[in-house]
Amino acid sequence: MAHPLEALLVLQEKDRKIAKLHREIRDIPARKADIDKQLEGGKTKLNQAREALKKVTSDLKQLEIEAAAHGEKILKYKNQQMEAKTNDQYRAFLQEIAAAEKQVAALEDREIVLMEHTESAKKIIAEREAELKEEEDGVSEEKEMLEERLSEVQEDLDKLIADRERITSTVNPSLLAKYDRLFKNKGDFAVVQVEGSHCSGCHMKLPPQVTNDALNPDKLVICNFCGRMLINLR
Ligand SMILES: [Zn+2]
């Protein structure tokens, strides 16, 4: 006659796999979040590049406004200059015009620099967009693999649960209830084997009487130290 705990050892094997797969399913959202996090750096870098372009574009616009204002001033001075009554007045306008033209020239120099900055900012944006696109492709591949894994796990789980039902139908219900409680409680093993003269659950040395009783299919032997069910398959 087979020891009743033998069926439970097989059941336990299934239950351990089931628990492992449940853990894997539970961890998947966190793994997805980790994958998304990989994109954050690239997104931040792209946003920084876009902000830099915005800044340089607005600076450039400001310079254009200033240059236009100086241009209007120059026109006004030129009109006034034509109506100058004295040589001194005429020279004064000439000086004003020269000063304004100098400012316009300086602004134009700065505009050229900013236009170069605009070009390089656009180039940087294009580079970072390409980098991000590549990262996004990698990420969606990783996520796809995760989805595939999830459906594999689900399939395995369904099989294991069916196996489990088949096994439990052969086990005495009160023994099964004891096992279920113990397995849940211990989180690893409810049934353990005697190894030599030790409990393989807690590794404590067992009295000879216990190791002997654990051979007997008619006796339910519990380890005094860890409370797990003992079976001796010597
Ligand atoms: Zn033990």
Domain with residue 140: its CATH number is: 1.10.287.1490
Q: Residue 226: which residues within 8 A CB-CB, separation 6 or more? A: 186, 192, 199, 201, 202, 204
CA of 191 to the centre of ligand 1 (A): 10
The whole-angstrom separation of Cα 142 and Cα 150 is 12
Which residues line ion ligand 1, judged by CB < 5 Å?
Answer: 199, 201-202, 223, 225-226
CA of 115 to the centre of ligand 1 (A): 78
176 domain-assigned = yes
What pLDDT is recorded for position 1?
67
What pLDDT is recorded for position 2?
86
CA of 203 to the centre of ligand 1 (A): 6
CA of 198 to the centre of ligand 1 (A): 8
Give the residue among 161, 225, 233, 152 at the shortest CA–CA distance from 195: 233
CA of 197 to the centre of ligand 1 (A): 11
180 and 126 housed in the same domain: no
pLDDT tens, per residue, the chain with 234 residues: 689 999 999 999 999 999 999 999 999 999 999 999 989 999 999 999 999 999 999 999 999 999 999 999 999 999 999 998 999 999 999 999 999 999 999 999 999 999 999 999 999 999 999 999 999 999 999 999 999 999 999 999 999 999 999 999 999 999 999 999 999 999 999 999 999 999 999 999 999 999 999 999 999 999 999 999 999 997
Domain that holds residue 220: 4-10+172-231
Other CB atoms within 10 Å distance of the CB of residue 147: 12
195 and 212 housed in the same domain: yes
80 and 177 housed in the same domain: no
Domain total in the chain: 2
158 and 91 housed in the same domain: yes
Under DSSP, is residue 202 helix (H, G, I), strand (E, B) or coil? coil
Single pTM value for the model: 0.74
31 domain-assigned = no
